[in-house]
Amino acid sequence: MKIACLGNMNNMLFQVGRYLIDEEHDVTFFLFEEFDHFLPEADTFENISKYKIVNLGWNFESFLNTSIVEIRKLFNEFEVLIGTDLAPAFLFKAGLKLNYFFPHGSDLYEFPFYKYKNHPPQMWEIPFNLVSSHQKFGIKNADYVMMDDSDDSYEIPLLKIRGDKRKRICAPPFLYLKQYSDDYPKRSSFYKELQQIRNNYELIVFQQISQDWSMRGPFKIDKGNNKLISGFDDFLMQRPELRNKAALILMEYGGDVEKSKNLIKDLGITNNVLWMKKMQRKDLMALINVSDICVGELGYRTWYSYSSIMEFMAMKKPLMHHRGDEHYKAKGLELYPMVDVKDAPGVTEVLIDLSNNKQKYIQMGIDAGDWILKDSKRRLKEFNESLKNIKPEQKIPNYWLKKLKLYLNLHELYNLFFYFLYSVKQSVKI
């Protein structure tokens, strides 16, 4: 099949596409305005010139100026369209539907629900709101949403957009597991530096997610980094003999880096914390490899799957995060080996147990690696089965009626009215 992968946030579609290429499908990767660490070359040491990659550079600002003709010309020839990020909005603009929407997060719970902060709106707000309405319709008309069971922050927006009877399958594999051989970490340019860190400490705890725990903004983001820092501090107090032999490694990015550094300073554990600059995932996996235990989010939200924890399991490392075991057991999901932790005392308890029972956690990591291999096969099987039901017709049925419904919405008329006013004002200035 001729397949297009649109967008590459978190390198998600580069993983999917490589599996599809292995199945002898003809795959082209279309990049939007991606972060440097989410470009295909950030996730593999191989030469990416063998892949078909088209850099579109699309973003919110380019939405209005990207023509319907251009979009259709790019994607009419494909039999299957898989997208993330802004893919639903751009395709719906051209009357094309996504066969698979693979949400990365904000493209589901934020993009379709933008609201004006200013009245009358500022010019910069209008593209975001025009994209928002198209994003919602694009997600609604997708054949499938590829998403694991999650908490309300994902489930409620999906229910609002698609209802509870639309097609949905599990997320495909978050990682291209075939590339992670035993000697994979040696290919990283950071390998020698990381080995030196490994040699300096008996116990290494690693958290790779951004520093965000202030509950800022409308979505109240709290990744619980402060809980890890406080729990690690208490661990050192209870195990003073490890004061000079244990390290906590954190990534120096996110809105609360300075808050975390101040907390670390106040607790007096600055010498035990190593800050690493943001890395490409191919190097990040080598850092995971030298860790004794890895930590995901410890905030109020419960998580079954996301890239970070899958990365830990791919490198056969034990992990702890706030999964919310009872929530997902009730959904009938198979739970992978890990420790469910949501507060600082829980962190301390796990680290003490780790220091006393290292072999137990080594085995937990091995079991987690076995689990993700088996789980990835399950995900690929479900995805490949669904491909059999895809019809090659990409045009949205009754598109112009749906488009008319969109533009008759009061919010959309409000968008267009002010866009027209600003356009007239700009032309008069010229």
Residue 310: predicted pLDDT? 93
Peptide bond just before 218 cis, omega within 30 deg:
no
pLDDT band with cut points at 50, 70 and 90 for residue 406:
confident
Q: Where are the alpha helices (DSSP H) in 331-357?
A: 344-356
Residues 190 and 168 occupy one common structural domain: no
Domain-located, residue 391? no
Contact (CB, 8 A) for 290 and 198: yes
Same domain flag for 290 and 402 = no
SS3 at position 43:
coil
- At 191-217, the pLDDT tens digits run 999 999 999 999 999 999 999 999 876
Q: Tell me whether residue 388 is in a domain.
A: no
Q: State the CATH number of the domain containing residue 192.
A: 3.40.50.2000
Q: How far apart are CA 15 and CA 146, in angstroms?
A: 14
List pLDDT tens digits, range 138-154: 999 999 999 998 888 89
What's the rounded Cα separation, in Å, for the pair 349 and 231? 8
CATH code of the domain in which 109 resides: 3.40.50
Q: Are residues 48 and 123 in the same domain?
A: yes
Domain end point (choices 339, 356, 373): 373
Most confident of 209-218, 311-320, 421-430: 311-320
- Residue 16 domain-assigned? yes
Same structural domain for residues 364 and 425?
A: no
129 and 258 fall within a common domain:
no
Nearby residues of 29 by Cβ (< 8 Å), 6 or more positions away: 5, 8, 13, 14, 17, 40, 51, 52, 53, 54
In a domain, 32, yes or no: yes
Instruction: Identify the pLDDT of residue 410.
Output: 66
| 272 in the same domain as 338 | yes
Q: Strands, E, within 175-245: which ranges? A: 203-207
Q: Can you name the residues that pair with 55 across neighbouring β-strands?
A: 31
Say yes or no: 151 and 237 in one domain.
Answer: no
Query: In angstroms, rounded to a whole number, what is the distance separating the alpha carbons of residues 95 and 67?
Result: 12
Instruction: List the structure tokens of 242.
Output: 């490890």
Order across the sheet with 2-6: list the strands.
52-55, 26-31, 2-6, 80-83, 100-101, 144-146, 168-169
Residue 390 located in a structural domain: no
- Total domains in the chain come to 2
pLDDT, one tens digit per residue, over 386-404 is: 999 998 777 888 887 777 7
> Positive or negative CA dihedral for 179, 38, 16, 56?
negative
Residue 165 has pLDDT above 70, yes or no: no
In a shared domain, residues 324 and 346 = yes
Distance CA 148, CA 3 (A): 22
187 and 288 in a single domain? The answer is yes
Whole-angstrom Cα distance, residue 197 to residue 275? 12
Write down which residue in 333, 356, 373 finishes a domain. 373
Task: For residue 20, tell me if it sits in a domain.
Answer: yes
Does residue 33 lie in a domain region? yes
Distance of CA 51 to the CA centre of its chain: 22
61, 37 in Cβ contact below 8 A? no
Residue 36 sits in which domain range? Answer: 2-172+398-429
Is residue 157 within 8 A of residue 108, CB to CB? The reply is yes
- Nearest Cα neighbor of 210 from 192, 234, 188, 228 is 228
In whole numbers, what is the pLDDT of the chain averaged over residues? 92
Please tell me whether residues 354 and 291 are part of one structural domain: yes
Query: Using 50, 70 and 90 to split pLDDT, how confident is the model at 129?
Result: confident
Is the same domain home to 20 and 106? yes
Verify that 168 and 187 share a domain, yes or no: no
Residues 6+ apart with CB under 8 A from 426: none
State the pTM of this model. 0.90
The answer as to whether 384 is a domain residue is no
